[in-house]
């Protein structure tokens, strides 16, 4: 991991700073006219269930594509 620690630290710092700004903005938005608290909870649960199902349907690890697909893509690049 040598060399990546500073980048990981900076990414985490940027994400946390952006998250705080977004959360501060979202506190000013009134969504109660659009969704009741119960409906908002149902949407959150539904999205999480869909994400779990989609993750179970995939075959490879997160962030990696299938090795065969990668090899095929590299062969196609060399032909051009």
**Could you read off the pLDDT of 5-21 as tens digits, one per residue?**
889 999 999 999 999 99
Q: pLDDT for 43-54, tens place per residue?
A: 999 999 999 998
For 32-77, what is each residue's pLDDT tens digit? 889 998 999 999 999 999 999 988 888 777 666 665 555 555 555 5
How far is the CA of 53 from the CAs of 48, 57, 60, 63, in angstroms? 9, 6, 14, 17
* pLDDT reported for residue 68: 59
**How far is Cα 69 from Cα 79, in angstroms, rounded to an integer?**
16
Model pTM score: 0.45
Contact indicator for 64, 73 with CB cutoff of 8 Å: no
pLDDT at 55: 84
Give the gyration radius of the chain's Cα atoms: 20
């Amino acid at each position: 991991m040598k060399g990546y620690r500073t980048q990981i630290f900076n990414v985490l710092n940027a994400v946390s700073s952006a998250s705080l700004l977004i959360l501060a903005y979202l506190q000013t938005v009134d969504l109660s006219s659009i969704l009741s608290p119960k409906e908002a909870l149902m949407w959150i649960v539904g999205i999480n269930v869909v994400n779990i199902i989609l993750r179970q349907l995939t075959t490879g690890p997160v962030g990696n594509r299938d090795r065969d697909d990668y090899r095929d893509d590299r062969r196609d690049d060399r032909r051009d």
